[in-house]
Amino acid sequence: MQISRFSEIAQDFPVVFFDSYGVLRNHNGLIPGAIECVEQMRARGIHVRVLTNNAARSPVAAAARLAYYGLPGIPAEEVITSGATTRHFLEQKIRSGKVAYLGTPAAAEYIISAGLEAVPVAEVDFDKLDEIKGFAFLDDEGYDLNKDINRTINLLRQRLVPVVVANTDLLYPVDKENVALATGSIARLVEYVLGRQFAKFGKPASQMFQMGLDSVAQFFPEVSPKDILMVGDTLHTDILGGNSFGVTTALVLSGNTRADSVDLEVRTSGIIPDFVCNSIGE
């Protein structure tokens, strides 16, 4: 595919949505040129938002994480997480009670902030399953991959409760060559085994894009999807979600999608980005 320079593309848009991991940073730290890229956008008056499927951290923690890696120029109010959309779902669907979850205690803050009691699936009392009012797939870590997934399946076989998937990512890179299963893969396995469909948030679902647009609209009231460039490293989340929401999309080759496989992945998936760039640093 034709490779475009990101700096030349971005200057035509008043709003840019970035994915975080694989776009702003990866396993090596910040993407080279990321700091300069964001600074140049600020200088041009471009509205920046970070849309991340990582439900393990709050917007405050996610912004602090970027600052830790050397990118301090993105405040928490400019970070949209899949956990925020999950919290909204829980607030609407479950009025009170306990919500069991797979994930870390930090990710469980999204349940607690919805006014509910968070219970790790490992600590669920199967003699009191009537206390469980919902279930959330939150994070890639914080549980035993074998034991707790079996507990999840058995819990959901016995309790027909709302189930939400906060992170729909199937894989995440752990180094240049290798990946690990992400929360979305675990949720899909459980769906398949149980023959059920769960409520899913995070990209490619539209809720995060709408929250990003609403956030920008506070400062740019006339904003519409045509004003937005979505920048991501994954076809099935960032690019599919952006295409579906009607924004322009740019696929970068600094994360999940590699330069030697991008042509094949686009052809086989049918998910076509408007632009392909090596990274945001060019």
User: How far apart (Å, rounded) are the C-alpha atoms in residues 185 and 170?
Assistant: 5
**pLDDT at residue 266 above 90?**
yes
Residue 79 inside a domain? The answer is no
Cα 47 to Cα 17, 38, 78, 162, 282: the distances in Å are 8, 10, 9, 36, 19
Could you say which of 151, 180, 200 is where a domain stops? Answer: 200
Q: Give the model's pLDDT for residue 36.
A: 95
Q: What is the mean pLDDT of residues 129-144?
A: 94
**pLDDT at residue 180 above 90?**
no
Residue 76 inside a domain? The answer is no
Residues 201-230 pLDDT 10s? 889 999 999 999 999 999 999 999 999 999
Residue 66 inside a domain? The answer is no
Task: Specify whether 214 is located in the same domain as 181.
Answer: no
CATH number of the domain residue 117 falls in? 3.40.50.1000
Pairing outcome for strands 171-173 and 179-181: antiparallel
Torsion angle defined by CA atoms of residues 57, 75, 32 and 258, in that order, rounded to the nearest 10 degrees = 40
Q: Give the model's pLDDT for residue 58.
A: 85
Could you say which of 156, 184, 200 is where a domain stops? Answer: 200
Task: Specify whether 194 is located in the same domain as 212.
Answer: no
| Residue 229 β-bridge partners | 16, 248
Q: Give the model's pLDDT for residue 28.
A: 84
Total structural domains in the chain? 2
Residues 65-112 pLDDT 10s? 999 999 988 999 999 999 888 898 999 999 899 999 999 998 899 999
Q: Give the model's pLDDT for residue 167.
A: 85
Q: Give the model's pLDDT for residue 175.
A: 74
Task: Specify whether 193 is located in the same domain as 90.
Answer: yes
Q: Give the model's pLDDT for residue 54.
A: 85
Task: Specify whether 103 is located in the same domain as 185.
Answer: yes
Per-residue pLDDT band at 179 (split at 50, 70, 90): confident
Residues 230-260 pLDDT 10s? 999 999 999 999 999 999 999 999 988 989 9
Residues 139-177 pLDDT 10s? 888 999 889 999 999 999 999 999 999 988 888 777 777
Q: How many helices (H) and strands (E) does the chain have?
A: 10, 15
Cα 175 to Cα 108, 139, 180: the distances in Å are 27, 19, 10
Q: Which of 15-19, 45-49, 101-105, 119-123 has the lowest mean pLDDT?
A: 101-105
Pick left, alpha or beta for residue 26 (phi over 0 → left; psi -120 to 50 → alpha; otherwise beta): beta
User: How is residue 197 written in tokens?
Assistant: 């469909």
Residue 151 inside a domain? The answer is yes
Task: Specify whether 124 is located in the same domain as 166.
Answer: yes
Residue 19: give the domain boundaries: 6-53+203-277
Write down the mean pLDDT value for the chain: 94
**pLDDT at residue 138 above 80?**
yes
What phi and psi values does residue 17 have, to the nearest 5 degrees?
-100, 125
